[in-house]
């Protein structure tokens, strides 16, 4: 019995065939002149190479093992030769098991979006001004965490309240394996504390939502110009501050889906449109990906890292100095430390849990 299930071997065979297709495309003259397509193919090749190389080594070991077992079982074979074949088969069986394990490790890294940069969206939910202040706390937490990781944060759009909270903030995070670390942050974040607006000292419960969207290239999501309606308007800020008297703010509407993206943080209309299109591409890609996942497995929403934004994934309890992640039942009594950027206290256990869940599905 071979150590690699037939379903997994079949999946790897498909990946090997696709790698051959990618290599052929990279060698074609037409691709060399299209920088966007070239980058996408190079990235895909990098993702496929590891698992396919391990698969080819496993297949060689598996074929040699089958040959040794045939010789060892041969009735007309010399006894000494059968003994040598049995020893070789035992050694090859160990090598085959080792390679099968390495294939599983390689496939765990075979997540198409793992190395992508992300666009994050934080929105105040239930709780009025307190929810907006909490959204600001989350933005600060992610900004500090990114800085400590050596990632680059770029503000795309921000809508502040009079008290300094955030109704909405959209920003990108760029760096090494950003998506693989931040993908677990998608969902509802709940806060329990005494708001600064509460005179009687009562504890309130408020919420904010976080969306983590893989950032994609132009060539990965097709957006037809006829499918867009682009409106311009004057930017505005809280209390009448930062009002732009020129129509530099941009609102982009994707007519087929109804998705709307507004951007007003830049003074340049061109830059605001460029940023809005980045967000729109990521939202469309995320929508397409979710539709595919739900078609493949209807229970995907119940699994770790599903990123359903209406789920309550975490509670931040100020009176008890406790943060609880409800997906894995983990509570940490270091609330301020996490808000000051020590997010790995949750990212690492979530990644370990995700790893075990995905191992079960290989």
User: Along the 362 residues of the chain, how does pLDDT read in single tens digits?
Assistant: 467 878 788 888 999 999 999 999 998 888 877 777 888 888 889 888 888 998 999 999 999 998 888 888 876 668 888 888 889 989 998 999 898 888 887 777 667 777 789 999 999 998 899 999 999 999 999 999 999 999 999 999 999 998 899 999 999 999 998 999 999 999 999 999 998 777 677 889 999 999 999 988 766 787 888 999 998 887 765 544 444 556 788 999 999 999 999 888 777 888 899 899 999 999 998 888 877 666 544 443 443 344 344 468 999 999 999 999 999 999 999 999 999 999 999 999 999 898 888 777 76
Domains of the chain: 6-108 (1.20.58), 132-361 (3.30.70.1660)
Per-residue confidence (pLDDT) for residue 344, from 0 to 100: 96
The C-alpha atoms of residue 101 and residue 260 are separated, in whole angstroms, by 45
Q: Is the pTM of this model over 0.85?
A: no
């Amino acid at each position: 019995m071979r150590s690699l299930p037939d379903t997994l071997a079949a999946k790897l065979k498909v990946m090997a065939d696709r790698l051959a297709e990618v290599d052929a495309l990279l060698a074609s003259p037409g691709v060399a002149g299209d920088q966007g397509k070239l980058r996408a193919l190079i990235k895909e090749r990098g993702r496929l190479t590891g698992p396919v190389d391990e698969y080819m080594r496993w297949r060689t070991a598996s074929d040699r093992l089958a040959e040794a077992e045939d010789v060892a079982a041969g009735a007309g074979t010399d006894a000494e030769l059968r003994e040598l074949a049995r020893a070789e088969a035992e050694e090859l069986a160990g090598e085959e098991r080792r390679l099968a394990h390495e294939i599983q490790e390689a496939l765990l890294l075979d997540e198409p979006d793992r190395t992508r940069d992300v666009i994050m969206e934080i929105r105040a939910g239930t709780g009025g001004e307190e929810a907006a202040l909490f959204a600001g706390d989350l933005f600060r937490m992610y900004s500090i965490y990114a800085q400590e990781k050596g990632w680059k944060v770029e503000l795309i759009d921000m809508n502040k309240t009079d008290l300094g909270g955030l109704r909405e903030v959209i920003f990108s995070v760029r760096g090494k394996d950003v998506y693989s670390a931040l993908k677990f942050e998608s969902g509802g974040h709940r806060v329990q504390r005494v708001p600064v607006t509460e005179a009687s000292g009562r504890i309130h419960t408020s919420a904010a939502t976080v969306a983590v969207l893989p950032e994609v290239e132009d060539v990965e999501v097709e957006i037809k110009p006829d499918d867009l309606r682009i409106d311009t308007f004057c930017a505005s800020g809280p209390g009448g501050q930062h009002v732009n008297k020129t129509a530099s703010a941009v609102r982009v509407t994707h007519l087929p889906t109804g998705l709307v993206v507004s951007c007003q943080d830049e003074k340049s209309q061109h830059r605001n449109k460029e940023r809005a299109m980045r967000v729109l591409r990521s939202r469309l890609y995320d929508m397409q990906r979710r539709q595919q996942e739900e078609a493949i497995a209807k229970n995907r929403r119940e699994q770790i890292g599903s990123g359903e934004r209406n789920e309550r994934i975490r509670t931040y309890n100020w009176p008890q100095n406790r943060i609880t992640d409800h997906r894995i039942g983990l509570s940490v009594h270091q609330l301020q430390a996490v808000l000051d950027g020590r997010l790995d206290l949750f990212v690492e256990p979530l990644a370990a849990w995700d790893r075990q869940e995905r191992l079960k599905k290989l």
